[in-house]
Chains A and B, each alone.
Chain A
Amino acid sequence: MPPRTAHASVAAVFREEHGRLLGALVHRFGDLDLAEDVAADAIEAALVHWPAHGVPPNPGAWLMTTARRKAVDRLRRDQAHAAKLAVLQAELDRAEPAPTAEDGLPDDRLRLFFTCTHPALAAEDRLALTLRCLAGLTTPEVARAFLVPTPTMAKRIVRAKNRIRTARIPFRVPRDDELTERLPGVLAVLYSIFTEGYAASSGPHLQRLDLADEAIRLARILHRLLPAEREATGLLALLLLVHARHPARTAPDGSPVLLEDQDRTRWNSSLITEGRALLPHALGGTPPGQYAVQAAIAALHDEAPDVRRTDWPQIVALYDVLATRTRSPVVALNRAAAVAMRDGPDAGLALLDTLADEPALRGYHPYDVARADLLERAGRHTEAAEAYRHALGSARTEPERALLRRRTQPRK
């Protein structure tokens, strides 16, 4: 195999195996730094061996065995870790037939999910650690994803890892009775990673696709590890059903395309099929979880031939369900937009007016845009133009501003 191809496949294998490798190593050593170091050592070794001898039939097992040997080497050099070495040596002394099947490898990623998203960590640190440890992103990649300088991200990751060590945040899967309390935290991190990628919070680009893709990849892993958890299913369904529309969300010049103007033939039908297939399980809870309900709303959009023929009464009904679960003004805003589609712009505007004093919606760009849009639909063009100018002030990305500048001209 030519070195270049080997390098590319090593990189691909590494991304895929990194979380598993790290999970297993952390479980064994109880030390994230050591696990990361020896995982990197194993990758380095693979970069030397695989181009010469080919990628082994079970790359994961090869990496795992190599990483454990590297750990022994490191611990020998570091006498302070003598106790850990003893454990490890006992482990290696046991006959260690290399697992021949992928499934022969331990999958300790679920522990890692719960450690990286532990409530004792700062919210932004949870996102960074999850991308670093479970998605296998390098620190500069994580930094780029969040548009911060690499040294800033490096500091954040070091701080989070120190916290895990000094507070002794465990590497464990919560008991069943703790799961209802802890799982929402894991899901919230994946959801934040996705929304961060879906609508960049600042900067020149509307979408940073890589983060949305990473969130989906992680949601798939989590769903595989916790197949019975309906909200894990619901989250994956939601991400798939929303992400399916991304090819049509952006015009060639980078500006956003509104739902009503999107070319629906460009929506990704295989993602829609996959997402819809998850809905029955996701919605089976009593009451259904918030991700499942949002996924059902996304599915109704995905199934509709156009905006007019969308099942707005059903969407309003689903927002009603959602509103009973969260008092979120953002849910109320979306419900108002759906009511406007069902009953006309005046009904929507009346609801928006009741939300005008919500502190969370003050300066909230989607609120300003929704109001301007409904004024325009109601034929109040002068007020609409004024509202668009107001919305320009709360836009956070350049494409959003470009779209609004076009719309501040009163339409015929």
Chain B
Amino acid sequence: MKYLLLVHASALDENGSPTGCEPTDWIAYDKEVRDAGVYVTGESLADLVTATTVKVGPDGTRSITTDGPFAETRELLGGFYVLDVPDLDVALDWAARCPGARDGSVVVRPIADFGA
């Protein structure tokens, strides 16, 4: 069963990087999930502040807004992991070990499985 781990930062420093976590923490965590064989995919976002949102209205007109809702929220999406683990408790365990959970928060969402 696959779970999406959305890693949110609670604050950014003046360079726009999340505070609190060291790159070495992330490197260690990344190695852990890969070594455990649960890693499916994962990415870090290059820019945590700016988000560009596209919507298409019923008449087909596009609206593109930048700095959408995300810059205003307290927590900023910094990246994500997709892990394949047996159940929610295991996913929550991995989320708790994620460096992002210490200073920010990690949201765990089950991914729909249409094959079962």
Contact = CB atoms under 8 A, between A and B. Distances in A.
B54 interface: no
Contacts of B1: 168
Contacts of A174: 89
Contact size range, A:
under 10
B86 interface: yes
A229 B92 CA distance: 24
A169 B86 CA distance: 10
Q: How large is the interface on B (under 10, 10 to 19, 20 to 34, 35 or more residues)?
A: under 10
Contacts of A169: 87-89
A157 to B, nearest CB: 19
Interface string B58-79: 0000000000000000000000
A79 interface: no
A159 to B, nearest CB: 15
A167 B110 contact: yes
A366 interface: no
Contacts of B89: 169-170, 172, 174
A166 interface: yes
A166 B110 contact: yes
Contacts of A172: 87, 89
A52 interface: no
B83 to A, nearest CB: 13
* Residue of B1, B86, B89, B112 contacting most chain A CB atoms (<10 Å): B89
Contacts, number: 23
A166 B88 CA distance: 10
Interface string A141-184: 00000000000000000000000001111101010000000000
A170 B1 CA distance: 12
Nearest to A166: B110
A174 B86 CA distance: 14
Interface in B22-63: none
Contact of A170 (B87, B110, B112): B87
A98 interface: no
A170 B110 CA distance: 13
A30 to B, nearest CB: 9
A120 B88 CA distance: 9
Interface in A164-221: 166-170, 172, 174
Contacts of A166: 110, 112
A117 to B, nearest CB: 13
A177 to B, nearest CB: 11
Nearest to B85: A168
A107 B44 CA distance: 45
A240 B13 CA distance: 54
Interface in A323-377: none
A409 to B, nearest CB: 52
Interface string B71-105: 00000000000000011111010000000000000
Name which of A118, A120, A168, A172 has the most chain B CB atoms within 10 A of its CB: A168
A244 to B, nearest CB: 37
B25 to A, nearest CB: 21
Nearest to A169: B88
Interface of B: 1, 86-90, 92, 110, 112
Q: What 3 pairs across the A-B complex have the smallest Cβ distances?
A: A170-B87, A167-B110, A168-B87
Given A120-B88, A166-B112, A170-B87, 19 more contacts: A118-B88, A120-B92, A166-B110, A167-B88, A167-B110, A168-B1, A168-B86, A168-B87, A168-B88, A168-B110, A169-B87, A169-B88, A169-B89, A170-B86, A170-B89, A170-B90, A172-B87, A172-B89, A174-B89
23 contacts: A118-B88, A120-B88, A120-B92, A166-B110, A166-B112, A167-B88, A167-B110, A168-B1, A168-B86, A168-B87, A168-B88, A168-B110, A169-B87, A169-B88, A169-B89, A170-B86, A170-B87, A170-B88, A170-B89, A170-B90, A172-B87, A172-B89, A174-B89
